[in-house]
Structure 1
Amino acid sequence: VQEDCVSYAVSLEAATAEDAVEWHDNIGARLRAILHQRFGEGVVFFTTYMENLSLK
């Protein structure tokens, strides 16, 4: 990582895994396209679907 590098992470929650995939494939895809158009190769996308588990 370069000294002048700025990093952001975004975490979103969905009611179901299906809702998360639907958002990712539609609204998320449009948002990624806008960010890529604005920042070009300066932005990297990755998706990790995770589940919240209770630690009782």
Structure 2
Amino acid sequence: MTESAETWLKSLNSLHTPLPSDFDGAKGHRESIESRLDFDPGGDRMFEIDSL
């Protein structure tokens, strides 16, 4: 099977392109983390250190 470099690159890129559902999941995850940080006054300190 012969394919052009452009076809191969588009195929490869499609594997690494997030789906709309991935963005929705990330948004929900972010909102969950933000609500926990708002609830726990010391949580942001621990979260920032852990993220480094």
Q: TM-score, normalised by structure 2?
A: 0.32
Answer 1 or 2: which has greater helix percent.
Answer: 2
Larger radius of gyration: 2
